Chain A
Amino acid sequence: MTGKPIRLTQTVKGAGCAAKLAPGDLDRALCGLDLPVDDNLLVGLERADDAGVYRISAELALVQTLDFFPPMVDAPYAFGRIAAANALSDIYAMGGTPKTAMNIVAFPAKTLDISVLRAVIEGGLHTMREAGVVLVGGHTVEDPELKYGLSVTGFIHPDRILTKKSLRPGDRLLLTKPLGTGIACTAIKAGMAGSEITERVTLAMATLNREAALTMADYSVSACTDITGFGFLGHLAEMVVESGAGVRIRSASVPVHPEVLEWAAMGLIPTGAYNNRTFRGKFVTFARNVPQRLQDVLFDPQTSGGLLIAVAAEEASDLQQALLKRGVTDTTLVGEVVAAPQEMILVE
């Protein structure tokens, strides 16, 4: 082993969630598939929600999801932690509790030492231990570029499933983590991010949405999703489409990792941000005074982002306080659900 620490971001072309297949392409691959039917399938592919949900009994349903991607940070252990947190997040976003997970690994055994894979998996286990999730197995393939993630199973009560689609006009929108990880990871890849911001963003991505999910269970939440590869506006658009409602966002309130706005102005923006804008731009109207750099951040693909929670107006302040008290310290009120204009996001 040489003395210099490995820089995983230099071994891959695309960084993290920014490596997602372009949404338009994905849409064309999936649209109109002939899917098997089952009465116990409560949430499936057509619903395009965060996870699949299958009823086992009147009180119990299974929740299933998976996520994996190439590294967005340089240290193997940190990469493992983040990829696992990202995968578990979808279960929390549905209101479920994750229980078992399996590793998904693609590894360039000819160019990276196997100790790197060991460190990545140890990072994954760190997150799984925090979440009370057991590792039950995994699968590995040889591949020119490293990729890691998890396939996850969890449980939920069938009556308490939180989907993306049930927005209520009047609800307030809370976001639990700052935006900008895609842009920050691009800066990290470019070698332009100092150690302090790298550590701060790494910790934010490695943080589970567990506390946020546990807290919101006690409130009148109409819809919830987690912010990942489609960016804040991409995931918000998923909530708005076919919901019959619209959304107003106060852009000045949206929390953003501090250095990110400057990096966005400089053009350190991942390709995924442009893909997200192309795919969902028609659902978004920006007010004239929203600067380009902020618009870019709002489409920036996130890795292991926070939860976007739609909660009844009269409970919004209490839920925000409860989240802050529980350690979800970046929770911010970012907007509200409106009756009109329907199926449009107004960013002011």
Chain B
Amino acid sequence: MKELNCRGLACPAPVLQLKEMFDKGTPAAVSVIVDNEAARENVSRFLEHKNFQVVVEPFGVDFRVVGTASAGGCELLEGSATVASPGAKKIMVMVGADRLGHGDDGLGAGLMLNFLKTLKEMGPDLWRLVFVNNGVTMTAEGAQAVPVLQGLAATGVQILVCGTCLDHFKLLNKKQVGETTNMLDIVTSMQLADSVINI
């Protein structure tokens, strides 16, 4: 069990010291002594963010925050679609058309399908796929991409499909994969993502 004594340290020193420890290598367990509530809260938040189980106990007049690395299985915050799996980057891919590149539409459609099939190589870093304009047609009944997208969704990738666009192409009730979304969610996703890729 790694130990840190952060008594007498002004914010943000306790979290900084913890971060330095984690940068050198994730400990299996860590115990931090702090002498004020704000530090107790901040240290707890830091450890929870690293997906540790956190227990806080009184320690004389101070507090002792004990964090233990979780064995596996990460608890996503309820309703908070913004939390990514531990350590992963949040990559958002914005798909604005049903083909990739310009010049030859037939080639473009094939390239797009191939692109969607290869996206799984990003692993847990792939966070959200957003479909707009005629990109939404790939999520509808009969589209070749549907099983590929369903496969991605099954691994935890969030798929958002623009409602206005579905409506425009008269596909609102033909969507087979993903959640219908609006511009506010799309803009918020861009803000929360670590990187945004536009296709």
Binding site for B on A (CB under 8 A): 13-14, 186-187, 189-192, 252-253, 258, 261, 264-271, 273-274, 288-289, 291-293, 296
Q: Find chain A residues with CB under 8 A from B83 CB.
A: 291
Interface size on B, residues (CB 8 A): 26
Residues 51-104 of B at the A interface (beta carbon under 8 Å): 77-80, 82-83
- B interface secondary structure, majority: helix
Contact: B12 with A252, CB < 8 Å? no
User: Would you call B49 an interface residue if the criterion is a C-beta within 8 Å of the partner chain's C-beta atoms?
Assistant: yes
Q: Please give, as numbers and ranges, the residues of chain B lying within 8 Å of A258 by CB-CB distance.
A: 191
Checking B37, B42, B80 against A268 with a beta-carbon cut-off of 8 angstroms, the contacting residue is: B42
Of A265, A266, A274, chain B has the most CB atoms within 10 Å of the CB of A266
- Asked if B49 contacts A269 (CB within 8 A), the reply is no
A252 and B188 within 8 A (CB): yes
From A186, A265, A269, A288, contact of B41 by CB (8 A):
A269
Report the bound CA distance from A189 to B13 in whole Å: 9
Contacts of B16 in A (CB 8 A): 190-192
Q: Is the CB of B36 within 8 A of A267?
A: no
The closest CB in chain B to the CB of A293 belongs to B45
Please, what's the 1-or-0 string for B21-49, where 1 marks a CB less than 8 Å from any CB in chain A?
00000000000000011100111111001
Question: Are B11 and A186 in contact, with the CB atoms below 8 A?
Answer: yes
Contacting pair A190 B77 (CB below 8 A): no
Asked if A190 and B15 sit within 8 Å, CB to CB, the answer is yes
- A267 near B82: Cβ-Cβ < 8 Å: no
For A264, what are the chain B residues with a Cβ–Cβ distance below 8 Å? 45
Contacts of B10 in A (CB 8 A): 13-14
Task: Let me know if B119 is at the binding interface, CB within 8 A.
Answer: no
Q: Could you tell me the distance in whole angstroms from the C-beta of A194 to the nearest C-beta in chain B?
A: 14
Shortest B36–chain A CB gap in Å is: 7
CB–CB A266/B11 < 8 A: no
Q: Which residues of A contact B46 (CB under 8 A)?
A: 266-267
Inter-subunit contact A270/B11 (CB<8 Å): yes
Please determine whether A266 and B80 come into contact, CB atoms closer than 8 angstroms.
no
Shortest beta-carbon distance from B186 to chain A in Å: 12
